[in-house]
């Protein structure tokens, strides 16, 4: 796990003035990575690093030859159309480039005059997926979500006996992952009507979001090898926001015996910016098991995970209906939670995934599963917030939602803050529901 160093210094300021504003997601202490092209252009995508409301075009930075040594080598790996090559270089390269860019972006840096040529507004960018995602695995790490959903689907047996022993997951669909601000069609599928004995085919009427954290794998492991939990985070490049859209009526009919299929493979939304684990170092928190719960098996236990395995990422979900957009009303916050509530940590997910010799590869994406907290208002899905659709959510204009309607736009946000550290953020992951394609 990363130690604090001068890149985390709360006194640091940047010559990019927007990075110094309070409550800004991208101060100099953050420096997350993304891939972009100029909006409306046919340019080849390339890497970028966010700084305030602007960002550095890493291809231009490379052409300026302002970095040297291992940082320059890492920078060159960010000039292509994905970050996979950079991710594969490992933690030493990631840290070297972050430290070099931090030095160049600090107030008073002699590189400032040259780097202004590489600076552009984020509002002028079109973001694409930051990596080629070869595989996507979605976990189920919130015991609060698992219990609440279990009560709806299995009232007599809400939490299955394996949950407290094994980080449960399913293999998702990588091809339908999109970056923030896309639109997608309401999914179709088989649905068993209430009281019916035969399914019907039609559009989902119980479309839901899931408030999740995404974990991008960096350096992988060879097929047939395992990842010790003490070294699991060496394989993690960084975190993003993730919305694993879910069709609850399709899910209820199909999920037994093999789990989610058409209920979840139609769309997944991620934020464009990947916040590195190094940037998150000031926001690590202890991880523990509640009294009376089984302790993790030895391969899932380590002193450093118990001491600093959690990450306090504050999470928020907001809803903007079509009527709200017409009135220019902003999205309305409907729930807040935190990644610190997760029953299994990032290290647990990585180690268990590779426990049988599965080869994780650079750019692979893990989802945390819906991040619900212990309080009702911390629910990470409409399924929980509306008690399975029985208690509609009332919006400020009086409109009601049990599940999502066509035209609804869902916006996820995330940030970290604590006393003695500068707040850093993740930007947003947003998408809009369109009518089902016929």
Compute the distance between CA of residue 369 and CA of residue 376 in angstroms, rounded to an integer.
Answer: 17
Q: Which of 334, 185, 370 is nearest to 260 (CA)?
A: 370
Neighbours of 429 (CB within 10 A): 29
| Count of CA atoms in the C-beta half-sphere (13 A) of 285 | 17
Compute the distance between CA of residue 72 and CA of residue 392 in angstroms, rounded to an integer.
Answer: 54
Token pair recorded at residue 84: 């996979």
Exposed/middle/buried for 353, CB within 10 Å: 0-12, 13-18, 19+? buried
What backbone torsions phi and psi does residue 117 show, to the nearest 5 degrees?
-70, -20
Exposed/middle/buried for 416, CB within 10 Å: 0-12, 13-18, 19+? buried
Between 69-76 and 91-105, two packed helices, what is the crossing angle to 10 degrees? 100
Q: Which 8-state DSSP code applies to residue 392?
A: P
Q: Give me the count of residues in the chain.
A: 438
Exposed/middle/buried for 280, CB within 10 Å: 0-12, 13-18, 19+? buried
Among residues 145, 341, 348, 352, the one annotated as catalytic is: 145
145 assigned to active site = yes
Token pair recorded at residue 164: 């407290």
Judged by DSSP in three states, 416 sits in: strand
Q: Which 8-state DSSP code applies to residue 282?
A: G
Token pair recorded at residue 130: 């930051």
What backbone torsions phi and psi does residue 226 show, to the nearest 5 degrees?
-110, 165
Terminal C-alpha separation, the chain? 50
> Alpha-carbon Rg of the chain, whole angstroms?
22
Compute the distance between CA of residue 279 and CA of residue 309 in angstroms, rounded to an integer.
Answer: 15
Judged by DSSP in three states, 210 sits in: coil
Compute the distance between CA of residue 142 and CA of residue 372 in angstroms, rounded to an integer.
Answer: 6
Q: How far is CA 214 from CA 35, 274, 303, 361, 434, in A?
A: 16, 9, 24, 15, 24
Question: Active-site residue numbers?
Answer: 145
């Amino acid at each position: 796990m990363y130690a604090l160093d001068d890149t985390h210094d709360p006194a640091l300021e940047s010559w990019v003035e927007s990075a110094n504003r309070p409550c800004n997601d991208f101060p100099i202490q953050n420096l997350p990575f993304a891939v972009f092209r100029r909006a409306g252009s046919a340019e080849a995508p390339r890497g970028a690093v966010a700084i305030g409301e602007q960002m550095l075009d890493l291809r231009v930075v490379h052409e300026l030859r302002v970095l040297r040594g291992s940082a320059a080598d890492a920078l060159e790996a960010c000039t292509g159309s994905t970050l996979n090559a950079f991710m594969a270089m490992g933690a030493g390269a990631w840290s070297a480039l972050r430290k070099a860019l931090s030095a160049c972006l600090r107030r008073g840096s002699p590189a400032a005059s040259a780097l202004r040529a590489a600076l552009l507004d984020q509002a002028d960018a079109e973001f694409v997926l930051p990596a080629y995602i070869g595989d996507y695995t979605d976990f189920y790490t919130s015991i609060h979500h698992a219990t609440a959903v279990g009560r709806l689907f299995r009232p007599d047996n809400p939490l299955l006996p394996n949950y407290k022993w094994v980080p449960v997951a399913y293999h998702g669909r990588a091809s339908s992952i999109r970056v923030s601000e896309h639109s997608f069609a309401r999914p179709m599928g088989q649905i068993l009507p209430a009281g019916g004995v035969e399914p019907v085919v039609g559009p989902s009427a119980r479309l839901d979001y899931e408030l999740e954290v995404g974990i991008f794998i960096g350096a992988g492991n060879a097929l047939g090898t395992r990842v010790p939990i003490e070294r699991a985070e060496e394989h993690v490049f960084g975190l993003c926001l993730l919305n694993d859209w879910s069709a609850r009526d399709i899910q209820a009919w199909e999920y037994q015996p093999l789990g989610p299929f058409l209920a979840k493979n139609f769309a997944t939304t991620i934020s464009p910016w990947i916040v590195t684990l190094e940037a998150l170092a000031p926001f690590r928190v202890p991880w523990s098991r509640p009294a009376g719960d089984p302790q993790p098996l030895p391969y899932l236990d380590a002193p450093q995970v118990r001491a600093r395995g959690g990450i306090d990422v504050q999470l928020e979900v907001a809803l903007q209906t079509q009527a709200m957009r017409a009135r220019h009303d902003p999205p309305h916050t409907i729930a807040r939670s935190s990644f610190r509530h997760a029953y299994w940590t990032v290290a647990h997910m990585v180690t268990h995934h590779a426990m049988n010799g599965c080869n994780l590869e650079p750019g692979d994406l893990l989802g945390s599963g819906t991040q619900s907290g212990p309080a009702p208002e911390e629910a990470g899905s409409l399924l929980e917030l509306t008690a399975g659709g029985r208690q509609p959510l009332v919006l400020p204009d009086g409109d009601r939602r049990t599940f999502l309607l066509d035209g609804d736009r869902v916006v996820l946000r995330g940030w970290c803050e604590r006393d003695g550290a500068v707040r850093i953020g993740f930007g947003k992951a947003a998408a809009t529901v369109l009518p089902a394609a016929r």
